[in-house]
Structure 1
Amino acid sequence: MVLRSGCKFGPVLVWFRLGYVVLLWLCVTHLRCARAETKTVVQKDAEFDVTYNDTVTSDNQTIYAFNHTVSRNKTEGVRVTVDVLSEGAESSPILFVVRQKQAVLSFQVPLILRGLYQRKYPYAHVGRTLCQPPTRSLTETQYFFVDVSTLSSLGTHYQLRISRVDSFTLHTDKKFSFTASPSQPQYFKYVFPDGVDTVIVKVNSEMTFPCSVMSIQDIQCPVYDLDNNVAFIGMYQTMTKTAAITVQRKDFPSNSFYVVVVVKTEDEACGGPLRFYPLRPDELIDAGNRSKTLDVVVSPAISSDVYVMGMLFCLGIFLSFYLLTFLVACVENKRSVDRPTVVYRKPGVTPVSPYEYGSFVDNASTLSSEAITDSIASDANYRYMGQETLKRRPFLTAIHHVAIRIERSLESVAGRSRQESLSSIEEDDYDTLADIDSDKNIVRTKKYLCVSDLARKDKRVLSKKYQIYFWNIVTIGVFYALPVIQLVITYQTVVNVTGNQDICYYNFLCAHPLGNLSAFNNILSNLGYVMLGLLFLLIVLQRDIIHSRALDRNDLNALECGIPKHFGLFYAMGTALMMEGLLSACYHVCPNYTNFQFDTSFMYMIAGLCVLKLYQKRHPDINASAYTAYACLAAVIFFSVLGVVFGKGNMVFWIVFSVLHILATMLLSTQLYYMGRWRLNSGILRRIVYVIYTDCIRQCSGPMYIDRMVLLVMGNIVNWSLAAYGLLKTPNDFASYLLAIAICNLLLYFAFYIIMKLRSGERIQCMAMVCILFTAVVWGFALFFFFQGLSTWQKTPAESREHNRDCIVLSFFDDHDIWHFLSSIAMFGSFLVLLTMDDDLDNVQRDKIFVF
């Protein structure tokens, strides 16, 4: 029965419920219409520069109607200023809607702006500038309306004022001052004058805080002039005391743009302190007084003629080095043509050399007296005795050589002869490979070593070994540079598309764009590294060719005199200098902390190669292989990347790095002191304890190699001090700290080399001395410009811009560009020093050249 009745009356209940819903909807609609009929809408004809005091509730709405004449030849801004005078208006704000011909602007008062972590700041005083739609007629009357409404049933008292902004248009090279706050942003219009295609907009303030934003926007509505939307369009950058943006006409079809200045609600973006957290998520924070006085000036940028002059200036400086090098090469070539050479006469006959004049006595039995005299006279023209002396006194000269030969023979009784100490060792002199190793140990552990002791390996093998340095660095450079170029192009594209100029740390007061590049002058100034690196490669190639020709004609000086000439490391140094220029240019496409290692990676390479070249000069047989050297440099670059990512304030990283730094210094010191004649294995601790017991405890004996010990002790003091400094100070710029370690070690070893060279009775020739003095002076000036600090990514972009300065050379190059010029010249000079500093030994036999 229940089921049947339910089925019978079910449709009736459904229609009853539907009717109830319809009736309820009609009642609600009727109530809304009745309420709307009770709401009063009042429209008033209003005037400019009149303050209107009124009260608004949910029952009334006020519309203020304004009209003004707009002229195509004169632009005037219109500004709306609103104050809410009632207390507790945050819970029921007033809505202001400004209706214009082509735009609608709406905002509530109190204006709620959000900061970091969505903290809310209310502003009861609001001022906004209306955008100006373009007009085609000469004069036009435009109307706009201000609607004032609220949903609060309680009356809210407010003040409204509409005023004209007479100084709405900025003029070229004319400063204009104004005041802005987070709720009262300001913007002004600038029109490109005829003949000006690029301008620099500069905004300055005497106040560091509050933090502000300067934006460049196209002439369109709406204008984004609040902290929460200023980054939506155009170009923008944060600022404390200064900001500068270069604007090009081609980016603005209307030949005009807006300069918008917004004061931020918080200062964290500019490096200011982080304010307290609100107690409740919906709590409103009093922002306080955040008004800021600023001034803006728009100046024409440089013309295309300045670009051309800058390029010609850059090319002229470095091409002059090519010209000077060509002149010096011509002079040296003329001298080398006039200088005779000493060659082997025939196999089996020992040649006459400058240091063993008595060698001809061995063959005296096969030569006539006239042949002996002629041979002495002709060969001795090359050295010491002088041409006239040998020609006038051949008999006395022969007696002199005989005496020298007898003395040399007596000295050779206690040891090997010179010929045996060089690479002319027969295989029959050794029974097994172990004997050769034993002989190597004996030679390298002598108290006083000569270059001949460490130049016993085959020259062709060593030459191929050191050529690997060049080919490896070319390979490294190609595979390193390609992704770097791709990455910086992406950076530049992001900057151009988003307009966020806080991404890159330029010197904005001297950043000259060209095409899509924002700072072409900083890229152009790196040309010196490439051109001078190429010039150094040409100089090394010339020396390499001259040396090869001397070897082909069996020149005695090339075979047995001077420092062994291996040019692979020099080629690698020149290539590294060119790569430094390329990667430095890539870094300056968009300089920031994430790609700074691009600028420093090949600086590590250059420092390491210079140290290796200094060591190779006196230790050609035991210098590190290319694979080992580049593996160590790769480890350095790896730590550089880790330092950039994790090094800032991370004490664990600094402890690990300092420990590894000290251990690496100790291992390298041991390697250098024992000339590689030690082994790192399980017995190393036992051998260390034994050496300490025998040399320090059992008997106090001094070090066997005093000079090496002095160098290594000083090196350990310097490196341990740098490790302690890093552990205590934890510098933010880890890449520069790591580079400072490399440079300090290079300078220490170079100073030791020069001192030991002079102590050994060697001298520095005129050309090398000129290079040393010139390089030292240039390095001094270069470091002066380097430490000017035009920008720094260790701070926020706004703080970095406080260090920006104007151009100082040709209105095109700044201080950092001058650093690029001078440092490239100084590096080139440093390479020349390494290339020429031992030219005085080219005529000295290798068994007379000391190792240190």
Structure 2
Amino acid sequence: MLRSYWKSRHKRGPGAYALLLRLSAYLCLCACATRRGCAEELGDPKTVVHKDADFEVTYNDTVTSDIQTIYTFNHTVSRNKGVRVSVNVQSEQVENPILIVVRQKQAVLSFQVPLILRGLYQRKYPYAHVGRTLCQPQTRALSETQFFFVDVSTLSSQGVHYQLRVSRVDSFTLQTDKKFSFVATPSQPQYFKYVFPDGVDSVIVKVNSQMNFPCSVMSIQDILCPVYDLDNNVAFIGMYQTMTTTAAITVQRKDFPSNSFYVVIVVKTEDEACGGPLRFYPLRPGEMKTQWVISTKCGRLEVKPNVKCLYFVFLSLSAEVYVMGMLFCLGIFLSFYVLTFLVACIENKRLKIGNPQSGFCIRSLQGCTLCAVLLHVSLCLLISERPLDSVGRCRQESLSSVEEDDYDTLADIDSDKNIVRTKKFLCVSDLARKDKRILSKKYQIYFWNIATIAVFYALPVIQLVITYQTVVNVTGNQDICYYNFLCAHPLGALSAFNNILSNLGYVMLGLLFLLIVLQRDIMHNRALLRNDLAALECGIPKHFGLYYAMGTALMMEGLLSACYHVCPNYTNFQFDTSFMYMIAGLCMLKLYQKRHPDINASAYTAYACLAAVIFFSVLGVVFGKDNTAFWIVFSIIHILATLLLSIQLYYMGRWRLGTACMPALGCSGLDRMVLLVMGNIVNWSLAAYGLIERPNDFASYLLAIAICNLLLYFAFYIIMKLRSNERIQFLALVCILFTAVVWGFALFFFFQGLSTWQKTPAESREHNRDCILLSFFDDHDIWHFLSSIAMFGSFLVLLTMDDDLDTVQRDKIYVF
């Protein structure tokens, strides 16, 4: 009838006619489907069976391609309770699984049983027992009565036996500071709801497990339907991280308009993501994965494969914690400024500076802020304007026309060098023959070069870590960065603000050291302008360029360490160590410069060597793991570099390939020989250790080499100073003792190892620990505090350790 009607009334094309015919048939089917027995009327053999069902009842039934069963549940929706559907297939037939469709208000959940989950290399794992929690629609009232339906169907012509059970989850809403235990498997994920209490703006969600494996994923998702709670979709939304025994995510109220969120736990089918082994593929076609039964409670259950017993803990954070943390950090380092100011005033008073300069400590420290901006501009002017008629041993050369190596190219100076180096007792005056202007220019290059390096190094680093943090925030993948998640306090876009804030000490103390050096520099240049004989003829020659470079390196270490801790991971670890190499190298150069001002390395050579060290650091991080060829090459280069440097130091730069060995320098040569032999033993031992053990953290191994050499040289310097009947003044002695104690405590906190990018993110989180200071700072933050103070103290030791020689003639100060 429809056909003749449309043909007589409208002259349609064949496509439109076919479409209208299909639409009419569909309307007829929908109308017929509302009546009982419509399947027989339409000639469709499928029978729909309706059943009124109850909670907490297990329904054993059979479904075929001819029968579709619909279970109807009358449910009172509550904000604090959930609903869980569990289905267990009795048959081993997996070619035609049964389909479960749960229809509820504002949400539909569908899944098949057996549930097929995919692992690495697209391996298939079918699970016969599936349990899913229903999404909880938003309700305005505390409770609301709703109906929901569970449809069971299959395409299998043979009967498929199944068990269906729908139960209530009474403990669906989690509480702050209360543990809650539960069990999850790959086919039975779990999720629960958390509502922010009043006055709580941020919480740390902790999940702990009693076993390392199976690997699992914790996800934080907004209260939306559907909930992504399977291994193949849990990463689609929200924040997530893999876990073995521990996971923790800091969640802020501002990110969830409903003031609540879901915590989802998904157990993965395979353990490779958490560093576990790739198991032998055990399944044959048609074989289902064995489901294990938990026989006792969560705390004492019998551990079986792919069953994970876990518990939640919520730790609340308040804004006061952030305020107290920032005030504490600022207070510690500002106290060093106050203490330095007081010491400067006491020292100036002790030296009885006259009335025109009696307030110098106040004026100099007040003017330091302005002077720090143009540190070396003012210094260059001061030096270039100094009269030269009082410098007896210096040749008068134009600063614009004299380069740092001019004296080394003159024949008479070459002769002087060879004669001087054969003296039995070498003094500082023998190695301080160059014009001070030339040496000042030489050592100023250290500062300008490191400032240039800092700018070109820091800008791409900052850009890169901002990109990392953006990716973390957009994707929600918290496996990208290796934080201490149990003590990671976000602020704005930063995920671990406390780890960044704790680096403030490097910057503030580096700036303070620059101001102290500037004060000493200005006082020394004023003494030169007054033709002070002590400044001209006595003490270790005052060259401040390396000190300025050291202070700048300390500030840059703080900046780059903060950049690294924006997103610490395998690819950017060198950001945190590059300027540590710089600091160690500059300190050794400064120690050598004190007694060898004329023959110290140029800035270009020094920075080229440090660049080579950083280059090898990157190669070691990328290619050094279990790479025999790399370790052999590096060990050979390490040993050869040690030998060449030893020769250079022993002969004070006066040797050439193919020439005969020059005579040693008496006692001084013997002392240097002892130092160099010990240094070679230490370095050869470190090279052998690296070749045999092949440590995973190559950057730290390389840094350990630099620190061992620095400590060895520093110990040698102190011993030789005491052997030469020199003394260490009280201020320098206090700095040495204080610095040694602080370094000891700092290293203790450094070796706590709260995370490691050498392992998988899940394995790294096994090392995570709670905050130990003000509920805001962790062990690594304390390392930042203490190491910045220790480095500052070490710089002060280098600055003050030879103050006892300020009134001693340079021809009476021994070289060693």
CA offset at residue 222 of structure 1? 0.6
Q: 1:533 to 1:703 in 2, by over 3 A?
A: closer
Residue 515 of structure 2 corresponds to 538
Residue 723 of structure 1 corresponds to 687
Residue 349 of structure 2 corresponds to 334
Q: 1:139 to 1:423 in 2, by over 3 A?
A: closer
TM-score (norm 1): 0.82
Residue 384 of structure 1 corresponds to none
Residue 82 of structure 1 corresponds to 87
User: One-letter code of the match for 2:80?
Assistant: T
Q: How does 1:159-308 map to 2 (within 5 A)?
A: 159-277=163-281, 289-301=305-317, 303-308=318-323
Would you say how many aligned residue pairs link Structure 1 and Structure 2?
Answer: 723
CA offset at residue 118 of structure 1? 1.4
User: Out of 717, 723, 736, which is 1:772 matched to?
Assistant: 736
User: Out of 638, 643, 650, which is 1:661 matched to?
Assistant: 638
Q: Contact (CA 8 Å) 2:102, 2:151: kept in 1 or not? A: yes
For residues 235 and 391 of structure 2, the distance between their equivalents in structure 1, rounded to whole angstroms, comes to 79
For residues 726 and 481 of structure 1, the distance between their equivalents in structure 2, rounded to whole angstroms, comes to 30
SS at match of 2:788: helix
Could you report, residue by residue, the CA deviation over 1:415-473 in whole angstroms, capped at 9, with x for unpaired residues?
A: xxxx99954799xxx9x943332222222243421111110000011001101101111
User: One-letter code of the match for 1:611?
Assistant: M
CA offset at residue 212 of structure 1? 1.3
2:37 is the counterpart of 1:60: no
2:611 is the counterpart of 1:634: yes
2:321 is the counterpart of 1:321: no
For residues 119 and 488 of structure 2, the distance between their equivalents in structure 1, rounded to whole angstroms, comes to 31
State the identity %.
85
SS at match of 1:48: coil
CA offset at residue 234 of structure 1? 0.5
CA offset at residue 623 of structure 1? 0.3
CA offset at residue 702 of structure 1? 10
Q: Contact (CA 8 Å) 1:201, 1:247: kept in 2 or not? A: yes
Q: 1:285 to 1:443 in 2, by over 3 A?
A: farther
Q: 1:166 to 1:737 in 2, by over 3 A?
A: same
Q: Contact (CA 8 Å) 1:122, 1:286: kept in 2 or not? A: no
Q: Contact (CA 8 Å) 1:119, 1:284: kept in 2 or not? A: no
For residues 270 and 34 of structure 1, the distance between their equivalents in structure 2, rounded to whole angstroms, comes to 57
2:132 is the counterpart of 1:128: yes
For residues 284 and 167 of structure 2, the distance between their equivalents in structure 1, rounded to whole angstroms, comes to 39
Q: 1:618 to 1:421 in 2, by over 3 A?
A: farther
Q: How does 1:701-716 map to 2 (within 5 A)?
A: 705-716=669-680
Query: Which sits farther off after the overlay, 136-145 or 630-639?
Result: 136-145
For residues 436 and 742 of structure 1, the distance between their equivalents in structure 2, rounded to whole angstroms, comes to 34
CA offset at residue 281 of structure 1? 9.5
For residues 633 and 280 of structure 2, the distance between their equivalents in structure 1, rounded to whole angstroms, comes to 35
Query: Which sits farther off after the overlay, 650-659 or 737-746?
Result: 650-659
Q: How does 1:148-547 map to 2 (within 5 A)?
A: 148-277=152-281, 289-301=305-317, 303-337=318-352, 422-423=393-394, 433-547=410-524
Q: CA RMSD in A?
A: 2.5
Q: Contact (CA 8 Å) 2:63, 2:161: kept in 1 or not? A: yes
CA offset at residue 143 of structure 1? 1.7
For residues 453 and 137 of structure 1, the distance between their equivalents in structure 2, rounded to whole angstroms, comes to 92
Q: Contact (CA 8 Å) 1:57, 1:152: kept in 2 or not? A: yes
CA offset at residue 277 of structure 1? 4.6
User: Out of 569, 586, 604, which is 2:546 matched to?
Assistant: 569
User: One-letter code of the match for 1:300?
Assistant: S
Q: Contact (CA 8 Å) 1:488, 1:587: kept in 2 or not? A: yes
Residue 781 of structure 2 corresponds to 817
Q: 1:287 to 1:473 in 2, by over 3 A?
A: farther
Residue 372 of structure 1 corresponds to none
Query: Which sits farther off after the overlay, 652-661 or 558-567?
Result: 652-661
2:742 is the counterpart of 1:807: no
CA offset at residue 36 of structure 1? 6.2
Q: Contact (CA 8 Å) 2:574, 2:699: kept in 1 or not? A: yes
CA offset at residue 609 of structure 1? 0.2
CA offset at residue 847 of structure 1? 0.8
Residue 846 of structure 1 corresponds to 810
Q: 1:703 to 1:287 in 2, by over 3 A?
A: farther
For residues 806 and 488 of structure 1, the distance between their equivalents in structure 2, rounded to whole angstroms, comes to 25
User: One-letter code of the match for 1:57?
Assistant: T
Q: Contact (CA 8 Å) 2:173, 2:193: kept in 1 or not? A: yes
For residues 215 and 789 of structure 2, the distance between their equivalents in structure 1, rounded to whole angstroms, comes to 41
Query: Which sits farther off after the overlay, 780-789 or 565-574?
Result: 780-789
Unaligned runs of 5+ in 2: 1-38, 293-304, 356-389, 398-406
User: One-letter code of the match for 2:551?
Assistant: G
Residue 47 of structure 2 corresponds to 40
Residue 591 of structure 1 corresponds to 568
CA offset at residue 243 of structure 1? 1.2
SS at match of 1:486: helix
User: Out of 44, 51, 62, which is 2:58 matched to?
Assistant: 51
CA offset at residue 619 of structure 1? 0.4
Q: Contact (CA 8 Å) 1:792, 1:800: kept in 2 or not? A: yes
Residue 369 of structure 1 corresponds to none
2:566 is the counterpart of 1:551: no
Q: Contact (CA 8 Å) 1:41, 1:61: kept in 2 or not? A: yes
Residue 739 of structure 1 corresponds to 703
Residue 144 of structure 1 corresponds to 148
SS at match of 2:423: coil
User: One-letter code of the match for 1:161?
Assistant: R
Q: Contact (CA 8 Å) 2:421, 2:665: kept in 1 or not? A: no
Q: Contact (CA 8 Å) 1:120, 1:283: kept in 2 or not? A: no
SS at match of 1:622: coil
Could you report, residue by residue, the CA deviation over 1:128-176 in whole angstroms, capped at 9, with x for unpaired residues?
A: 0000111235643222211111122221111011111111111222211
TM-score (norm 2): 0.85
Q: Contact (CA 8 Å) 1:97, 1:107: kept in 2 or not? A: yes
Q: Contact (CA 8 Å) 2:738, 2:793: kept in 1 or not? A: yes
For residues 665 and 619 of structure 1, the distance between their equivalents in structure 2, rounded to whole angstroms, comes to 20
For residues 239 and 70 of structure 1, the distance between their equivalents in structure 2, rounded to whole angstroms, comes to 32
For residues 666 and 142 of structure 2, the distance between their equivalents in structure 1, rounded to whole angstroms, comes to 99
SS at match of 2:439: helix
User: One-letter code of the match for 1:825?
Assistant: I
Q: Contact (CA 8 Å) 1:213, 1:263: kept in 2 or not? A: yes
SS at match of 1:679: coil
User: Out of 784, 798, 816, which is 2:748 matched to?
Assistant: 784
For residues 474 and 435 of structure 1, the distance between their equivalents in structure 2, rounded to whole angstroms, comes to 36
Residue 585 of structure 2 corresponds to 608
Could you report, residue by residue, the CA deviation over 1:808-847 in whole angstroms, capped at 9, with x for unpaired residues?
A: 1111111111111111110000000000001111111111
SS at match of 1:90: coil
User: One-letter code of the match for 1:791?
Assistant: S
